[in-house]
Amino acid sequence: MSFQNPVFIPGPTNMPEAIRQACYMPTIDHRSPTFGKILHPCLDGIRQVLKSADAKIFIFPSTGTGGWETALSNTLSKGDKVLAARNGMFSHRWIDMCQRHGLDVQIVETPWGEGIPTGRYAEILKADTNHDIKAVLATHNETATGVKSDIAAVRKALDAAGHPAMLYVDGVSSIASMDFRFDEWGVDIAITGSQKGFMLPAGLAIIGFSSKAIAATAHSDLPTTFFDIGDMQKGYDANAFPYTPPVGLMNGLKLSLDMLLDEGLETVFARHHRIAEGVRAAVSAWGLKLCAASPDLYSDTVSAICTPEGFNATDIVTLAAEKYDVAFGVGLGDVAGKVFRIGHLGSLTDVMMLSGLATAEMCMVDLGLDVKLGSGVAAAQDYYRNNPAVAQ
Ligand SMILES: *Cc1c(COP(=O)(O)O)cnc(C)c1O
């Protein structure tokens, strides 16, 4: 392992050197105005990334999974009904967490490769005239299948039914890489983590709450201790956490937010889209198909690529690691062995991406797949030449 090559897994993502340096800092008093100078810019920056005027932002020493738990345990009660679609490994794991918390999940089973069936959500919400459903869960970007769902359409389904349920969105692999509109989409809780679009190590759960979600904490009966947002807010008011904050990671987050906002969110999203389009051009030149069922579902942060029947897609990932020291993502759950994943989010350029595509090609040829060396790379090169990052 030389650590020289970028990774092409859908998180943790590559870290810019400056962010690494920012994480590596001397000890400070974590209950002090000095800590406040790290904390408050982080909260403000995240609010901007979420495109929200006044969401309450919370940062926990955890990961995206802890963000899910923060959402559920602060706002819901045992036996509460929630609506969720299962269309991949991440939506599945969030549903599993709901069940372990004693919630009553109405699961809409959805083929892996499809997005949230918003038409089905609309019917279910309309039929729920008692308003038993307290929260609607939505995985914005299903990282297992490379499928992006339409959150505005989920909001529309709620509004069309005149339904008061709250909308909780897992944006772990979309926020800070793909457009996310907390206020416009009427999101009540948004969840993300540090190790994907924010280009940091794992270790932070990042969550936004609407005023409605904050109000719901008053009558939730699920126990909260570590993830209690009331305790956390009290901490913030005194430039502290209720316990010891991960100061270095948060210092890194402050820089990450500066970098994202300096580049400009729309530019960041356009960069991810361009890089992803190059990957998709390569996949099509290889004669392979994405797991995502149609172009409107294509994710700009991760592509899950189907390999031919009878071929174990995981072999590509294993060979890339062993022979070329390059990391791709394996298929998870129902699509294990059927897809391999190329992560294309975070700190990445066209040139880095071309090296990943070239490596994937070498592996596929090594393993006897009917792919021509250079075919995918050439297709991506063509796309990048004609759609340059820097205006000419
Ligand atoms: C990575 C990911 C998670 C889980 O996050 P952890 O940080 O591993 O706990 C949840 N949801 C989605 C969509 C993800 O991509």
Helical spans, DSSP H, in the chain: 17-23, 33-49, 64-75, 89-100, 118-127, 151-160, 211-216, 229-237, 247-263, 265-285, 314-324, 350-366, 375-386
Give residue ranges with CB within 6 A of ligand 1.
11, 63-65, 90, 139, 141, 143, 170, 172-173, 193, 202
Cα 105 to middle of ligand 1, angstroms: 20
Considering the domain architecture, whether residues 116 and 72 belong to the same structural domain is answered as: yes
Considering the domain architecture, whether residues 139 and 88 belong to the same structural domain is answered as: yes
Q: Is residue 337 a part of any domain in this protein?
A: yes
Q: Is residue 336 a part of any domain in this protein?
A: yes
Which tokens in the block code for residue 184?
């416009």
Minimum-distance ligand 1 atom for the alpha carbon of 173: 15
Minimum-distance ligand 1 atom for the alpha carbon of 141: 13
Cα 391 to middle of ligand 1, angstroms: 34
User: Which residues form the domain of 186?
Assistant: 17-262
Considering the domain architecture, whether residues 71 and 57 belong to the same structural domain is answered as: yes
Considering the domain architecture, whether residues 60 and 197 belong to the same structural domain is answered as: yes
DSSP string of 202-261, one letter each residue = S-EEEEEE-HHHHHHGGG--S--STT-HHHHHHHHHTTS-SS---HHHHHHHHHHHHHHH
Q: Is residue 12 a part of any domain in this protein?
A: no
Q: What is the CATH number of the domain that holds 39?
A: 3.40.640.10
CA distance readout (Å), 7 to 155, 269, 343, 345: 35, 20, 8, 10
Q: Is residue 4 a part of any domain in this protein?
A: no
Considering the domain architecture, whether residues 200 and 300 belong to the same structural domain is answered as: no
Q: Among the three residues 262, 284, 301, which one is the final residue of a domain in this structure?
A: 262
Are the beta carbons of 275 and 353 closer than 8 angstroms? yes
Considering the domain architecture, whether residues 27 and 166 belong to the same structural domain is answered as: yes
Q: Among the three residues 214, 245, 262, which one is the final residue of a domain in this structure?
A: 262
Tens-digit pLDDT profile for the chain (392 aa)?
789 999 999 999 999 999 999 999 999 999 999 999 999 999 999 999 999 999 999 999 999 999 999 999 999 999 999 999 999 999 999 999 999 999 999 999 999 999 999 999 999 999 999 999 999 999 999 999 999 999 999 999 999 999 999 999 999 999 999 999 999 999 999 999 999 999 999 999 999 999 999 999 999 999 999 999 999 999 999 999 999 999 999 999 999 999 999 999 999 999 999 999 999 999 999 999 999 999 999 999 999 999 999 999 999 999 999 999 999 999 999 999 999 999 999 999 999 999 999 999 999 999 999 999 999 999 999 999 999 887 66
N- to C-terminal Cα separation, the chain: 38
Q: Is residue 372 a part of any domain in this protein?
A: yes
- Among protein residues, the one with the nearest Cα to ligand 1's atom 5 is 64
pTM of this structure: 0.98
* Tally of domains within the chain: 2
Considering the domain architecture, whether residues 222 and 290 belong to the same structural domain is answered as: no
Identify which of 168, 170, 301, 344 to mutate to test ligand 1's pocket (most ligand atoms within 8 A of the CB). 170
Considering the domain architecture, whether residues 165 and 86 belong to the same structural domain is answered as: yes
Considering the domain architecture, whether residues 285 and 215 belong to the same structural domain is answered as: no
- HSE-CB at 189 with a 13 A cutoff on CA atoms is 32
Considering the domain architecture, whether residues 180 and 240 belong to the same structural domain is answered as: yes
Round to whole Å and give the CA distance between 343 and 345: 6
Considering the domain architecture, whether residues 58 and 193 belong to the same structural domain is answered as: yes
Round to whole Å and give the CA distance between 272 and 267: 9
Cα 170 to middle of ligand 1, angstroms: 8
Considering the domain architecture, whether residues 212 and 323 belong to the same structural domain is answered as: no
Q: Is residue 188 a part of any domain in this protein?
A: yes
Q: Among the three residues 206, 229, 262, which one is the final residue of a domain in this structure?
A: 262
Round to whole Å and give the CA distance between 279 and 270: 14
